[in-house]
Amino acid sequence: MDQTNEPVVRSPQQQRSKQRADQILAAARAIILQKGCANLTISEIAEVAGVTPGSMYQYYRNKAAIVLALGQYYVALFQQRLAQIFSEPVSSREQLAVLFLQVLEQHYQLFRDDPVVRDIWAGTATDKDMQNLEQQDNAQHLQFFYTVAAPFFPPAAAPELHRTLNLLLHFAVAGSRLALEQDEVEGRCTLDAAKKMLSQMWLQFCRNYTD
């Protein structure tokens, strides 16, 4: 009998390990929310998580590893939102433009609604592992957008399409970050302006490949 489709059953020890790791991340998140990432310490994480500092190292080698794990959690969360936005087949370039803007909106809202993710991502300027995580995340998004958009353009357009999507992606991230540095009212105005500019750039690119 073929067993390949049966769900993976974790052993009690594996379940306990995952629960303990989740406790540690939840504790770190609570501390960051209250004090900021810069004030995160292994001893306080252990205290809040209800574990000994020594046992912490079975799961995360240091504070940076905990922050990286939280960053990976938020990357996975955003990937889920991206999948929801593109859950239905795309039928046109115009629909693509609408969906791209929805992605930008979700990015902005995730960061705006959760100060923990903003604090964590502020560390990408100094932490090499977080920089790598962000670069990998951007590369995955670019490849995803390119795969979705490519069928709507002739094969000869592929290099320029890839280049344009890369520029639009980086512009969108920069616009979102600028908006997040501002208060909510001004931030919304900045994000809406970024959306308008992105729409215009995308439509201009599409005009270059009209039938």
| Cα gap 116→77, rounded to integer Å | 14
In a domain, 198, yes or no: yes
Same domain membership, residue 183 and residue 120: yes
Last residue of a domain, one of 44, 61, 78: 61
Q: Are 25 and 63 in contact (CB under 8 A)?
A: no
Same domain membership, residue 77 and residue 33: no
Same domain membership, residue 170 and residue 124: yes
Q: By residue range, what is the domain housing residue 41? A: 11-61
Q: How many domains does the chain have?
A: 2
Instruction: Kindly provide the residue ranges of all beta strands, DSSP E only, lying in 26-141, ordered along the sequence.
Output: none
| Cα gap 77→70, rounded to integer Å | 11
Biggest CA pair distance of the chain:
66
Read off the CATH number of the domain in which 151 is found.
Answer: 1.10.357
Q: What pLDDT tens digit does each residue of the chain (211 aa) get?
A: 444 444 444 444 677 778 888 999 999 999 999 998 888 999 999 999 998 888 888 888 888 899 999 999 999 999 999 999 999 999 999 999 999 999 999 999 999 999 999 998 887 677 888 889 999 999 999 999 999 999 999 999 999 999 999 999 999 999 999 999 999 999 999 999 999 999 999 999 999 988 6
In a domain, 2, yes or no: no
